[in-house]
Structure 1
Amino acid sequence: MADGKRRSGAVEPLDGGWGWMIVGCCFMVTVCTRAVTRCISIFFVEFQAHFGADYAATAWIHSLVDCTTMLCAPVGSLVGNRWSCRVAVMLGGLLSSVGLLLSSFSTSLELLYLTLGVLTGLGFALCYTPAIAMVGCYFHHRRALAFGIAMSGSGIGTFVLAPAVQMLIELYSWRGALLVLSAFVANLCVCGALLRPIRLREGEEEEGEEAESVGEEKLGGLVSSKDAELAVSLPKEPSVPLPLMAGNPAPQLPRRRCFSSCFLSIKEYRFLLLPDFLGLAVSFLFLASGCSLPFVYLVPYALSVGVRHQQAAFLMSILGVLDIVGNITFGWLTDRRCLKPYRLASYVLAVAMEGLCCLFTPLLRSFSLLVPFAVLYGYFDGAYVALIPVVTADVVGSPYLSSALGVVYFLHAIPYLISPPIGGWLVDVTGSYSPTFFLSGVSLLSSAVVLSAITGIRHCRRLMLTPAAKR
């Protein structure tokens, strides 16, 4: 780079090259984390028979894995920012593999809560957020497509692993199946080793530079003008550098600008003061409260209205396949020049369509009517999942993506833990699945309404700032 004041060795996102290897690694991370988590429910019948437990007791294992993965997501971000995404994913792969290995020797359900629920979930948490953040480091112009391909590992992995796990249980019992899964999840260490750190341009190092210069030039041209506008609204600290990107080595700071690591950690999370992110956080809470209920209760509802077992299971297969299609196609579409400025609106549309599908579910009382529901819900579920990192980056800016994703997935933890039991309680009290699907639909529509309000406020704010800038 001609300008000698730039950091040496800093580069722009590659949008290709080794970036596609990063996408492939993130794809495998989602297979080994999210898909394996979904397949844990296959072991429930075996756990019930072996330990003499009921469904409620065994279901806590799945809830603990999911909750721990999301609850500890900020830990993954912190490890990725402090050392590197490579270290975080390799350490997470080791912990989750050990957790599954120890689970195969468990002698009680309580021990499974600890090994399979907490230890494996912690390992998944260390892998999930840093791997996704690395995709954001390597891609800018084709970011939505890259995220879509990477996140499709959840659907594809579920589609492939579910029958494979069932076959392993039949051949080697549940203990042998967990041993094989332990070896499979150890591949996360290989994926982590391939996450080559990339050093993004962070701006000028000139002494005495004013904080008001934060913008596209300050962020090295890595973010859009919309990101730069939001970055200006962050608390200005001229003497503190921008947060470290995931996978970057720590730059050497002059002694007079050195602060404790605790204070630096606070700076990495100063995006929390953005009003836009606070609104986004509220939206994610509503989203997490409603998105998992259809996956839990679609099959029981279908059976309650007379659908055969094989057909009910086929509905879940449709959900999984269309989830994959939504991941990739929606990511590709929103990367088009005509739709890129409307990615947040596209995300709102996907969430709102899911909510409407849930509201109409009690009217669908046959297999032929439930198939369109599975198609639409599965597609739009994949669409919004692929856009979560994109929308988050658009709101907080690329330098804060890793930390922001940790907070975003942390917000999913408690709703994931309590919403299925609440849905089951509604079924027990009312004797109908309608209130459960209404709860899901209202939660998803509330999430869309909150985001729509954010979009409107941002648009009005830009209209107010434009005349002021011209003066």
Structure 2
Amino acid sequence: MPRRSNVPLMEPPDGGWGWIIVINCFLVTVCTRAVSRCFSIFFVEFQNYFAQDYAMMAWIHSTVDCTTMVFAPIGSIISNRYSTRVSVILGGVLASAGLILSSFATCLEYLYLSLGVLTGCGCALAYSPAISTVGKYFCKRKALAYGLAMSGGGIGTFVLAPVVQLLIERYSWRGALLILGGLVANICVCGALLRPLNLIEELSSSAISNIASRKTSEEGSYKTQRDEPQLLSPSADSSFIEKESANKQPCSCCPSYKEYAFLLTPDFLVFAVSLLFLAYGSSTPFVHLVPYAVSTGVSQQQAAFLVSILGIVNIVGNITFGWLSDRRLLKKYRKYCYVLTVGLDGLCSLFIPILRSFPLLVPYAVLYGYFDGAYVALIPVVTSDIAGTAFLPSALGIVYFIHGIPYLIGPPIAGWLVDTTASYTAAFLVSGLSMIVSSMLVISANLIRKCRNSVDLQTAITETEPSTATFHTATLDLI
């Protein structure tokens, strides 16, 4: 494997080893997001074995999702301080160990710790750093790269859902968890192939200016190549670059406040609040769709096939919206595409209580899976547009951290509504309304910002008009 270069790139390469990064991120997504989505298939077996109500079962899935999101900033810190490889490989070890230990569970509380906390922590250390690496390797085709990389969640769900069901039938739920533990261990291999990349924008401003002045004095100007990424001259002192890069992160154990400066921007604050509603709404369908389908008379195999449909259509949403968002006409409107897909996803969930047969649930799975794949692929892109590529690892850590609390309380609240009302109607209605509110928050913030900018511009013009009139009067007097 080629060694990491100390000479930073002026811009992402948009290809080359970046496609290997996309493939590895795809596999990491399969081993984290797809595997966790299939946990709901185990719930019927857990309920029969441990003799607990469904609300207690839902805590397993919510604990996994919550831990994955809450520990995401830890993954970003490890990635920033050491390397992405260290974080992803460590995450693979923890996630695999959690699944293997879960196969020996004798009580529900044991599963909360092994499957919920340990596996969730491993997914957190692997998922967020792997996703952020894709953003560093791509610029012009960033949305497409993210669409391909994150389609692993859909493809993995499509393939793993029936496979997990067959594994449970043949080897029981203990054997299925043991086999999944071996599968998830492949995250370590993916982490070893994530080569770090130095970008010039990640250096401090003083380092950039000093390096630029050295380059200017030696050659007079930078050489630009049409098809290759621009590099700083190899004659630049690499030790000086390393020193300046280290100055940006003075402490090896504590994050610098400069890495989280984006938190003070209004756009990111509104985006963060909207993510709270989005996380709550999106957590319910994947957890409760299979039990809801079974409660309407759908067989267990058909219910698992609904999850497969969600997964395969999720792939189409990932890739097509990623490709469309990179087009010149839509590139400026990525945020609006994100808002549209979130709102339509919530609208789909409002209609699920009236869908009480397998033929009616299939269109729901198709629509919900497509829009879910679309906005999931756009979350890193929108985060990069708001926070900037230099802050992307830290920003993604915060974005997934924000998902933590809603992912923790969402499925149990929905399970409590199911137990209280003896129906899934309230659970899915709250889920759909929550996602619609999330989309309205983002679009409202955009409208308010545009109105404020328009008022500020009008005020500036009004203030400059008297001075312009005075200037013209003085000029006429002189003539």
Which of the five TM-score ranges fits, normalised by the shorter chain? 0.7 to 0.9
Q: In structure 1, list runs of 5 or more residues that go unmatched.
A: 1-6, 211-219, 221-248
Asked if 1:403 corresponds to 2:402, the answer is no
Q: Residues 260-409 of structure 1: matches in 2 within 5 Å? A: 260=251, 264-305=255-296, 311-409=302-400
TM-score by structure 2 length? 0.81
Deviates more, 1:362-371 or 1:80-89: 362-371
Matched, 1:440 2:431: yes
Q: Which deviations, in whole Å up to 9, do the C-alpha atoms of 1:118-150 show, x marking residues without a partner?
A: 111111100010000000000111111111111
1:434/1:250 Cα in 2 relative to 1: closer, same or farther (>3 Å)?
Answer: farther
Cα deviation digits, residues 61-95 of structure 1 (max 9, x gap)? 22221111111111111111111111110111112
Structure 2 contact 54–415 (Cα < 8 Å) conserved: no
Report 1:155-170 matches (<5 A): 155-170=154-169
Query: Does structure 2 conserve the Cα–Cα contact (< 8 Å) formed by 1:11 and 1:198?
Result: no
Task: Specify the alignment match of 2:115 in structure 1.
Answer: 116
Question: 2:440 aligns to what?
Answer: 449
Aligned residues, how many? 427
Give 1:113 shift.
2.2
Partner of 2:420: 429
Which amino acid in 2 is paired with 1:98?
Answer: A
Q: How far apart, CA to CA, are the structure 2 residues paired with 1:316 and 1:207?
A: 50
Contact 1:93 1:187 in 2 (8 A): yes
Structure 1 window deviating more from structure 2 (86-95 vs 177-186): it is: 177-186
The correspondence for 1:414, drawn from 390, 405, 425, is 405
Distance 1:260 1:48 in 2: 48
In structure 2, what residue type is equivalent to 1:38? Answer: R
TM-score by length of 1: 0.82
Percent sequence identity over aligned pairs: 63
Cα shift readout 1:326-353 (whole Å, capped 9, x = no counterpart): 1111111111111100000000000111
Query: 1:285: Cα distance to partner?
Result: 0.4
Distance 1:176 1:297, change over 3 A: closer
Aligned-partner Cα distance in 1 for 2:183–2:301: 29
Q: Indicate if the aligned counterparts of 1:323 and 1:380 stay in contact, CA closer than 8 A.
A: yes
Give yes or no for contact 2:250–2:256 (8 Å, CA) kept in 1.
Answer: no
TM superposition shift of 1:257: 8.5
Within-5 A mapping of 1:4-403:
8-202=7-201, 206=206, 251-253=242-244, 259-260=250-251, 264-305=255-296, 311-403=302-394
Once residues 283 and 15 of structure 1 are traced to their aligned partners in structure 2, the CA distance between those partners, rounded to angstroms, is: 30
Aligned partners of 1:60 and 1:113 also within 8 Å: yes
Gap change, CA 1:445 and 1:43, over 3 Å in 2: closer
The CA distance in 1 between the partners of 2:110 and 2:63, in whole Å, is 12
CA distance in 1, matches of 2:388, 2:23: 24
Go from structure 1 to structure 2 and tell me whether the alpha carbon gap of 1:106 and 1:127 turns closer, same or farther (over 3 Å shift).
same
The offset of 1:34, in angstroms, is 0.9
SS of residue in 2 equivalent to 1:20: helix
Q: Distance in 2 between matches of 1:70 and 1:208?
A: 34
Q: How much does 1:381 deviate?
A: 0.7
Q: What's the secondary structure of 2:200's corresponding residue?
A: coil
Once the two structures are overlaid, the 10-residue window that deviates more, 198-207 or 373-382, is 198-207
How much is the aligned-residue C-alpha RMSD, in angstroms? 3.0
CA distance in 1, matches of 2:323, 2:146: 10
TM-fit CA distance, 1:16: 1.0
Question: Greater CA radius of gyration, 1 or 2?
Answer: 2
Shift in CA distance, 257/200, structure 1 to aligned 2, threshold 3 Å: closer
> Residues 274 and 439 of structure 2 are in contact (CA less than 8 Å); yes or no, is this contact kept in structure 1?
yes
- Structure 2: gaps of 5 or more residues: 1-5, 211-221, 223-239, 465-479
CA deviations over 1:201-238 (Å, ceiling 9, x no partner): 1267558979xxxxxxxxx9xxxxxxxxxxxxxxxxxx
Q: Is the 8 A contact 1:344 1:455 kept in 2?
A: no
Q: What amino acid is the match of 1:30? A: T
Q: Which residue of 1 aligns with 2:234?
A: none
The one-letter code sitting in structure 1 at the alignment partner of 2:345 is E
